[in-house]
């Protein structure tokens, strides 16, 4: 499932809370330097335009947080009770 | 009305500094100051990003120094930045951080002359004139830019010792007082006022800025933990007279300085005492921080800069300052 499809599963009343939580994950990530320049620019544009809680903004945030903090992102969605989203983002366990 | 600034240390990726600066603007901060240390990301690249993504905030290096960056280059950088953000650029200038300069074996030679001459050079070049400075440190005569900054750039002088504070009062558009304790701020204002009077200037026109190490959190222990490394750096670079004024033994400061210089962080930070935290930072819950800033404002501070680390979680700290502290001073 694409990130955009996952975002469609976030109920409207949780969009703002989701954006806040993901922003926190992304900003506090120890892997912040790994964020691609293109994705960083798109995030900055959305933040500038107050669009981070929109569908396109959330898609970027999910992409960024699952890139920088895959485990924490999955746990975050579990905490919101969005188990299907969490499961789709859960990092694969290497054997 | 007191204005609020925020300091960023560009040790984080550029997008993070830009994101947080935008957040600060949205929360009502008036100034973004970005530090200039050779070992972090470049200050003007960072400021260019902030200029592009903000619309109202003032911004500038806070502070750059004339030992590593020649004032001609600083003038060129701030004048160019002023094209990106007309009317929003300021320039913070100081003698630099002793610990960082030591890593490059650079001496802070004749600091008063260096700042006085650098201010003259920057001011002339930015305003389209050719400086004529034949000083102790710099010799710049007849050089001129091929472009003109679209707006003036105010120069703030970073100062801690009495002579530099007086110089800031004499020639600065603002003074960045590197202190947070009311006792230090009060005496700093006294010296700057003296300098201003000596130069026949109206002191009230000077932007009196308390540039303080700051850490805010609902849990005071977390705020304390975040500020400790920064206080270690401050103590390491502090003039002996100021250390002694707060009862901090100079030999402890030397131990901290040596620890930092040799990368022995645990040993260096372990020397930091509660008294040092109290003397060299504003740290605590939102209410405690508001109360401490209030004391500085009563002494005559017209801008308060929340300096590094801001808090254990910068994103949350900026929100806390915007929601609880800024409204208390409107």
Q: What token pair was written down for B295?
A: 């004391």
Q: Is B247 on the interface with A (CB under 8 A)?
A: no
- Minimal Cβ distance to A47: which of B14, B22, B314: B22
Residue A83 belongs to a domain: yes
Q: What b/e sequence results for B296-305 when a residue is b if at least 16 CB atoms lie within 10 Å of its CB, and e otherwise? A: bbebbbebbb
Best probe of the A interface among B9, B15, B24, by most A CBs < 10 A, is B15
- Minimal Cβ distance to A27: which of B14, B53, B315: B315
| Distance of alpha carbon B209 from the chain centroid | 9
Asked if B22 lies within 8 A of A44 by C-beta distance, the reply is: yes
Distance from the B167 Cα atom to the nearest Cα atom in chain A, whole angstroms: 39
Residue A95 belongs to a domain: no
CB A26 within 8 A of CB A32: yes
Residue of chain B minimizing CA distance to A34: B13
What is the pTM for the complete model shown?
0.94
Domain that includes residue A38, residue range: 3-89
Of residues B302, B314, B316, the one with CA closest to residue B5 = B302
Contacts of A25 in chain B (CB under 8 A): none
Contacts of B19 in chain A (CB under 8 A): 27, 43-44, 47
Averaged pLDDT, A19-44: 96
The residues, any chain, with a CB within 8 Å of residue A48's CB and separated by 6 or more, are: B22, B53
Best probe of the B interface among A36, A41, A44, by most B CBs < 10 A, is A44
| Distance of alpha carbon B239 from the chain centroid | 16
Residue A30 belongs to a domain: yes
Asked if A32 lies within 8 A of B314 by C-beta distance, the reply is: no
Asked if A27 lies within 8 A of B20 by C-beta distance, the reply is: yes
Q: What token pair was written down for B39?
A: 């070992």
Rounded-to-integer distance, Cα A5 and Cα B74, Å: 49
Residue A94 belongs to a domain: no
DSSP lists the bridge partners of residue B216 as B284
Residue A74 belongs to a domain: yes
* DSSP three-state, residue B284: strand
Q: Is B99 on the interface with A (CB under 8 A)?
A: no
Asked if A47 lies within 8 A of B16 by C-beta distance, the reply is: no
Contacts of B16 in chain A (CB under 8 A): 27, 32
Rounded-to-integer distance, Cα A79 and Cα A69, Å: 15
Rounded-to-integer distance, Cα B36 and Cα B243, Å: 24
- Domain count for chain A: 1
| B158: number of Cβ within 10 Å | 26
Which domains occur in chain B, in start order? Answer: 3-219+301-329 (3.20.20.30)
- Please report, in tens digits, the pLDDT of each residue of chain B (330 residues total): 899 999 999 999 999 999 999 999 999 999 999 999 999 999 999 999 999 999 999 999 999 999 999 999 999 999 999 999 999 999 999 999 877 888 899 999 999 999 999 999 999 999 999 999 999 999 999 999 999 999 999 999 999 889 999 999 999 999 999 999 999 999 999 999 999 999 999 999 999 999 999 999 999 999 999 999 999 988 988 888 889 999 999 999 999 989 988 899 999 999 999 999 999 999 999 999 999 999 999 999 999 999 999 999 999 999 999 999 999 998
Distance from the A27 Cα atom to the nearest Cα atom in chain B, whole angstroms: 7
Residue A82 belongs to a domain: yes
Q: What token pair was written down for B157?
A: 């002088």
Give me the residue label for tokens 């935290």. Answer: B277
Q: What token pair was written down for B167?
A: 């110089």
Contacts of A44 in chain B (CB under 8 A): 15, 18-19, 22, 53
Q: Is B27 on the interface with A (CB under 8 A)?
A: no
Q: Which helix (H) or strand (E) holds B165?
A: helix B162-171
ipTM computed for the complex: 0.94
Asked if A28 lies within 8 A of B315 by C-beta distance, the reply is: yes
Asked if A32 lies within 8 A of B313 by C-beta distance, the reply is: no
Residue A7 belongs to a domain: yes
């Amino acid at each position: 499932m694409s990130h955009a499809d996952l975002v469609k599963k976030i109920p409207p009343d949780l969009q703002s809370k989701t954006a806040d939580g993901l922003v926190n994950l992304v900003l506090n990530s120890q892997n912040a330097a790994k964020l691609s320049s293109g994705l960083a620019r798109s995030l900055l544009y959305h933040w500038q335009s107050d669009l981070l809680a929109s569908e396109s903004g959330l898609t970027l945030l999910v992409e960024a947080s699952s890139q920088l903090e895959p485990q924490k992102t999955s746990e975050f969605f579990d905490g919101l009770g969005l188990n299907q989203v969490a499961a789709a983002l859960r990092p694969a366990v290497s054997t | 009305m007191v204005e609020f600034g925020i300091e960023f240390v560009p040790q984080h990726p550029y997008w993070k500094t830009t994101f947080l600066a935008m957040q600060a603007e949205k929360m009502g901060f008036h100034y973004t100051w970005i530090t200039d240390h050779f070992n972090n990301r470049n200050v003007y690249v960072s400021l260019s990003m902030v200029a592009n993504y903000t619309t109202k905030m003032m911004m500038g290096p806070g502070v750059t120094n004339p030992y590593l960056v020649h004032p001609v280059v600083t003038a060129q950088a701030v004048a160019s930045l002023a094209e990106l953000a007309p009317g929003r650029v300021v320039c913070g200038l100081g003698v630099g951080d002793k610990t960082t300069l030591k890593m490059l074996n650079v001496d802070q030679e004749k600091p008063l002359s260096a700042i006085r001459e650098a201010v003259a050079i920057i001011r002339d070049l930015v305003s389209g004139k050719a400086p004529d400075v034949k000083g102790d440190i710099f010799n710049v005569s007849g050089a001129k830019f091929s472009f003109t900054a679209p707006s003036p750039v105010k120069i703030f002088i970073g100062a801690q010792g009495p002579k530099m504070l007086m110089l800031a009062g004499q020639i600065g558009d603002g003074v960045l007082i590197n202190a947070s304790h009311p006792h230090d701020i009060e005496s700093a204002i006294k010296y700057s006022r003296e300098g201003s009077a000596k130069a026949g200037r109206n002191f009230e026109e000077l932007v009196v800025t308390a540039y303080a190490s700051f850490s805010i959190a609902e849990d005071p222990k977390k705020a304390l933990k975040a500020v400790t490394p920064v206080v270690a750096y401050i103590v390491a670079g502090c003039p002996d007279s100021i250390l002694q004024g707060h009862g901090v033994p100079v030999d402890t400061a030397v131990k901290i300085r040596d620890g930092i210089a040799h990368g022995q962080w645990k040993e260096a930070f372990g020397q930091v005492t509660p008294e040092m935290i109290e003397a060299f930072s504003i740290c605590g819950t939102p209410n405690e921080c508001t109360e401490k800033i209030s004391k500085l404002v009563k002494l005559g501070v017209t801008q308060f800069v929340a300096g590094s680390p801001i808090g254990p979680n910068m994103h949350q700290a900026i929100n806390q300052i915007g929601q609880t502290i800024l409204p208390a001073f409107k």
